[in-house]
Structure 1
Amino acid sequence: MPKNTSTAPGKGRGIAIGAAVLVAALLLGVFSYTATKPGSDQAEGGKDSPVADVSADPQNGVYPELEKLARRDAGDKLAQGKADAPVVLVEYADFKCGFCGKFARDTEPGLVQKYVDNGTLRIEWRNFPIFGAESEAAARAAWAAGQQGRFWQFHAAAYADGAKEKGFAKDRLTALAKTAGVDDLDRFTEDVDSAAAKKAVAKDTEEAYKLGATSTPSFLVNGRPLAGAQPAETFEQAIEEAAAKRDDKK
Structure 2
Amino acid sequence: MPTTSTTAGASARRGRGVSAAVAVLALALVLGLVSALGGAPDSGSGGGSAAPAETSESPQAPDEALLALARREDGDPNALGRADAPVVLIEYADFQCPFCGKFARDTAPELIEKYVESGVLRIEWRDFPVFGEESEAAARAGYAAGRQGRFWEFHEVAYGEDRRRNSGRFAGEKLVELAREAGVEDLERFRADMESADADEAVERDVREGHGLGVTSTPAFLVNDRPVLGAQPTEVFVEAIEAAKRAAEEHGR
Alpha-carbon distance between aligned partners in 2 of 1:155 and 1:185, rounded to the nearest angstrom: 17
Q: 2:219: which partner in 1?
A: 217
Q: Distance in 2 between matches of 1:173 and 1:59?
A: 40
**Are residues 190 and 234 of structure 1, via their aligned partners in 2, closer, same or farther at CA, if it must alter by over 3 Å?**
same
Note if contact 1:93-1:128 (Cα within 8 Å) is conserved in structure 2.
yes
How far 1:100 moved relative to its partner? 0.4
Structure 2 length as normaliser, TM-score? 0.80
Q: Does 2:132 match 1:138?
A: no
- From 234, 247, 250, give the equivalent of 2:249: 247
User: 1:14 aligns to what?
Assistant: none
Residue identity in the other structure for 1:174: V
Match of 1:33 in 2: 32
Q: CA deviation at 1:234?
A: 0.5
Aligned residue number for residue 54 of structure 1: 48
When residues 164 and 186 of structure 1 are mapped into structure 2, their CA distance, relative to the original with a 3 A threshold, is: farther
How far is 1:239 from its partner?
Answer: 0.5
Cα separation, 2, equivalents of 1:80 and 1:69: 16
Aligned pairs, number? 219
Paired position in structure 2 for 1:88: 88
Structure 1: which 5+ runs fail to align? 1-20, 44-51
Q: Secondary structure at the match of 2:32?
A: coil
Identity fraction in percent: 53
1:1-250 to structure 2, matched below 5 A, reads: 25=23, 29-31=27-29, 32-34=31-33, 35=37, 37-38=42-43, 43=45, 52-58=46-52, 63-164=63-164, 167-250=169-252
Residue 17 of structure 1 corresponds to which residue in structure 2? Answer: none
CA distance in structure 2 between the partners assigned to 1:234 and 1:27 by the alignment: 18
CA distance in 2 between counterparts of 1:200 and 1:248 reads 35
Partner deviation per Cα, 1:58-115 (whole Å, 9 max, x = no partner): 2698533211100000121100100001100000000011100000000001000000
Q: In structure 2, the residue corresponding to 1:30 is in which secondary structure?
A: helix
- Shifted more, 157-166 versus 203-212: the winner is 157-166
Shift of the 134–82 alpha-carbon distance from structure 1 to 2, 3 Å rule, reads: same
**In structure 2, distance between residues paired with 1:222 and 1:72:** 12
The answer to whether the Cα contact below 8 Å between 1:145 and 1:151 also exists between their aligned partners in 2 is: yes
Aligned residue for 1:225, secondary structure, equals strand
Change (3 A) 1:246 1:73: same
Higher normalized contact order (CA 8 Å, seq sep 6+, divided by chain length):
2
The alpha-carbon distance between structure 1 residues 102 and 112, as it changes in their structure 2 partners (threshold 3 A), is same
TM-score normalized by structure 1? Answer: 0.81
DSSP 3-state at the match of 1:33? helix
Deviation, structure 1 residue 38: 3.7
Q: 1:202 to 1:196 in 2, by over 3 A?
A: same
Whichever residue aligns with residue 169 of structure 1, its letter is A
1:163 Cα offset (Å): 4.0
Equivalent position SS for 2:125: strand
Cα distance change on mapping 1:168 and 1:63 into 2, 3 Å: same
Q: CA deviation at 1:28?
A: 5.6
Does the aligned pair in 1 maintain the 2:81–2:119 contact within 8 Å? yes
8 Å Cα contact 2:221-2:228 kept in structure 1: yes
Separation of aligned partners in 2, 1:27 and 1:93? 17
Match of 2:4 in 1: none
The aligned amino acid for 1:116 is V
